[in-house]
Structure 1
Amino acid sequence: MQNLSRRSMLKITAGAALAFPAILKTTRVHAADFTMKYASNAPVTHPLIVRITEATDAIRKETGGKVDIQVFPNNQLGGDTDMLSQLRAGAIDFFSLSPLILSTLVSKAAISGIGFAFSDYDHVWAAMDGELGNYVRAEISKSGLYAMPKIFDNGFRQISTSNHPVKTPDDLKGLKIRVPASPMWTSMFRDFGAAPLTINFAEVYSSLQTKVADAQENPLAILDTGKLYEVQKYIAKTNHMWDGFWQLANVKSWQKLPPDVRALIEKHINDAAVKQRADVAALNASLETSLTAKGMTFNSVDTAAFQSRLHASGFYKEWHGKFGDEPWALLQKGAGRTL
């Protein structure tokens, strides 16, 4: 961020003043120009980056160039754990991150990723735009981060493999499957008897290509935009977890912004979230066909059998104990089922 003199601020165009007079009134007092960094692991073609870029362009335009949020997609600024550290240190101002990876810092953020909790998107958005999402955002705020009100969609996660299809829980035994840096992911796949490997997304393609891992799990949009179909053959439609992208801000960077600027940024990012959710839904509806055309083979599974295995292993009991009664009750209320 760079400070401008009062004289420089008075040079802001009359057009910009008409477009957003409230911001100009505030920033004349603060006499500041804001250049900020937004980072993500998502590829440039992913709906997340497309919509965030639209939002930052709109913010730049409506403030007459006063707020310039530069977008760095595709792990340009490092892996997830590294970028989270940069966000906390203030080297990055905004960062999109899965709740489950965020759980390495904010343990209760992972509550939305409990295996097989959500049956459909109606339940997901009711929970994440409601009480469960509010609870998680309050937990995030305790760690020096600010989470925007609306979470973006990453999607329901599916398992892909290069060596054999996954049709039953037994097919996961001994499988070298890449998972993000999250205790819950590791816990769940270990309970299935798999061999989970924690690997940052920036290294997923190469780890699959070199057979360090034989499998991975991600929403179809990530599998497509990350070109993982080039190094995977089979997809099991497990819908084993719903995953999203919290839009996080370094709280010190956020609080330095005038209130009207914060309101404008939040408005555009929340609007982008609603559009991005629709984008992912439309994309997922077409991806089975397009990925099949690229050589992948899909199969359905009996999700009840996978849930039963997790109940038998004590997975749900263990994580209920770790999260506590309050967030667990909010999860069950939003999901509309007892876990």
Structure 2
Amino acid sequence: MTNANDRKGINRRTFLKAGATMAASLPLFSISTRPAFAAEFNYKLATGQDPTHPVNIRAQEALNRIREATNGRVDIKLFPANQLGSDTDLLSQVRSGGVEFFNLSASILATFAPIAGIVNTGFAFKDYDTVWKAMDGELGAHIREQIAKSGIITVSRAWDNGFRHISSSTREIRKPDDLKGFKIRVPPAPMLTSLFKALDAGAAPINFNELYSALQTKVVEGQENPLAIIATAKLYEVQKSISLTGHVWDGYWILGNRRAWEKLPADLRAIVEKEFDRSTTDQRADIAKLSASLREDLKAKGINFFDVDREPFRAALAKTSFYGDWKAKYGEQAWSLLEKYSGKLG
């Protein structure tokens, strides 16, 4: 699915620069000292994001609260920035129990549990209000139930990875016809490739580490990513405009090893869930603030922004086989739950 740099994309230096406004309002990232006595349950939480990313700031806060609320019985150590292995490695480790908890994007989790990728359906979610109603409602519950059948579990509501938007160096993307023949880089992800091909764009799967040069040499005219990726990878240097299409939303799941989870007494499991859920709300707010500040930062760097009407894009997509093809892959039950929040697709 998506290249690792697309998933993380925020290193310490660039994230601090891009997120300065948000970071000023956040508590400092810190690792608390080890209790004087040994914990009853010593677990690990691995993530792929830099320690300064909201995922890790809010996760560490949750771990601190869990340790306090359980009187030191549960001690979960945070290992950010793929310290314990790549996303693929860590997915295997959380399944085997090598790590007890792991934060992973839905788009990557879909390679193991396909249902997770339904949230990436093109133009399904018009805004965050719709996203959170779905993810905190029946669709999210169904996804979590299906993930649990794969042998791993989710231990909180979904966290935010952001909406993806289109940038361009040549034409202004305001309506579906503007995408016809538009040479756009996409990550090697089936959902995104099929979405842009359906809209008659020249979708070119290119690895992220080759993206900047591909844009610079006009191998492709544009690309699509969340604003944080566009900012931190300095893609604004070789692009002129960003169209806020929000064509795909992606989230993070905090996954747990089932055996390790079931070793925790019910009262301790309840505390872990409660504190991760509290940090879910905080992390979502962090990303919303960061997205707003990044828009202003990028405008100051000369990028033109276009607020586009998403409905014509979804209507154009509905005239193709895109939605029907993905409905067949996900099944009637899951698709009907998606449409409960998205409205009729196709």
**Do both share a fold (TM > 0.5)?**
yes
Q: Note the 1:114-263 alignment, pairs <5 A.
A: 114-161=121-168, 165-169=172-176, 170-171=178-179, 173=181, 175-179=183-187, 182-192=189-199, 193-197=201-205, 199=207, 204=208, 206-211=209-214, 214=220, 215-224=222-231, 228-229=235-236, 232-263=239-270
- Corresponding residue for 2:104? 97
**Structure 1: unaligned runs, 5 residues or longer:** 1-10, 14-30
Q: CA deviation at 1:164?
A: 5.3
* Residue-by-residue CA offset, 1:99-122 (whole Å, 9 max, x unaligned): 222111111222222111112222
RMSD: 2.8
What are the Cα deviations for residues 129-176 of structure 1, in whole angstroms up to 9, with x where unaligned? 111111100110111110124111122221234565544444363625
SS of equivalent to 2:46? strand
Q: Note closer, same or farther for the CA distance 1:230–1:333 as it changes in structure 2 (3 Å cut).
A: same
- The answer to whether the 8 Å contact 2:161/2:250 transfers is yes
- Measured in 2, the distance between the counterparts of 1:184 and 1:77 equals 29
Secondary structure (helix, strand or coil) at the match of 1:210 reads: helix
Query: Per the alignment, do residues 337 and 75 of structure 1 end up closer, same or farther by CA in structure 2, a change over 3 Å counting?
Result: same
Q: Aligned runs of 1:1-339 on 2, under 5 Å? A: 32-40=40-48, 42-161=49-168, 165-169=172-176, 170-171=178-179, 173=181, 175-179=183-187, 182-192=189-199, 193-197=201-205, 199=207, 204=208, 206-211=209-214, 214=220, 215-224=222-231, 228-229=235-236, 232-339=239-346
| Cα distance in structure 1, aligned partners of 2:275 and 2:152 | 19
Q: 1:56 to 1:162 in 2, by over 3 A?
A: farther
State the shift of 1:32 in Å.
Answer: 3.1
> In 2, Cα distance between the equivalents of 1:232 and 1:81?
31
Structure 2 distance, partners of 1:256, 1:80, is 25
Larger Rg: 1
| CA shift in 2, pair 1:162/1:82, >3 Å | farther
Which of 108-117 and 221-230 deviates more? 221-230
User: C-alpha offsets along residues 174-202 of structure 1, whole Å, 9 cap, x if unaligned?
Assistant: 625132x5432232133233334264xxx
TM-score (norm 1): 0.78
For residues 233 and 133 of structure 1, do their structure 2 counterparts lie closer, same or farther at Cα, with a shift above 3 Å needed? same
Tell me, in whole angstroms, the C-alpha distance in 2 between the residues paired with 1:132 and 1:284: 25
| Contact persistence 1:51–1:272 (CA under 8 A) | yes
Instruction: Look up the SS of the partner of 1:44 in the other structure.
Output: coil
CA distance in 2: counterparts of 1:275 and 1:302, whole angstroms = 29
AA partner of residue 186 (structure 2): R
Equivalent position amino acid for 1:34 in 2: N
CA contact (8 A) 1:128 1:134 kept: yes
Superposed displacement of residue 239, structure 1: 1.0
Secondary structure, in 3 states, of the residue corresponding to 2:186?
A: strand
Total equivalences in the alignment = 305
Structure 1 residues 160 and 80, CA gap change in structure 2 (3 angstroms): farther
Contact 1:118 1:124 in 2 (8 A): yes
Counterpart contact for 1:102–1:110, Cα < 8 Å = yes
- The percentage of counterpart residues that share the same residue type is 45
Structure 2 SS opposite 1:141: helix
Contact 2:106 2:251 in 1 (8 A): yes
Distance in 2 (CA, whole Å) between partners of 1:67 and 1:164 is 54
Give the counterpart letter for 2:245 in structure 1.
T
SS in 1 for 2:246: coil
Moved more, 119-128 or 298-307: 298-307
* Post-superposition offset of 1:259: 2.5
Taking the aligned partners of 1:293 and 1:185, their CA distance within structure 2 comes to 29
Tell me, in whole angstroms, the C-alpha distance in 1 between the residues paired with 2:237 and 2:269.
Answer: 42
The residue type paired with residue 132 of structure 2 is W
The 3 A distance-change label for structure 1 pair 72 and 165 is farther
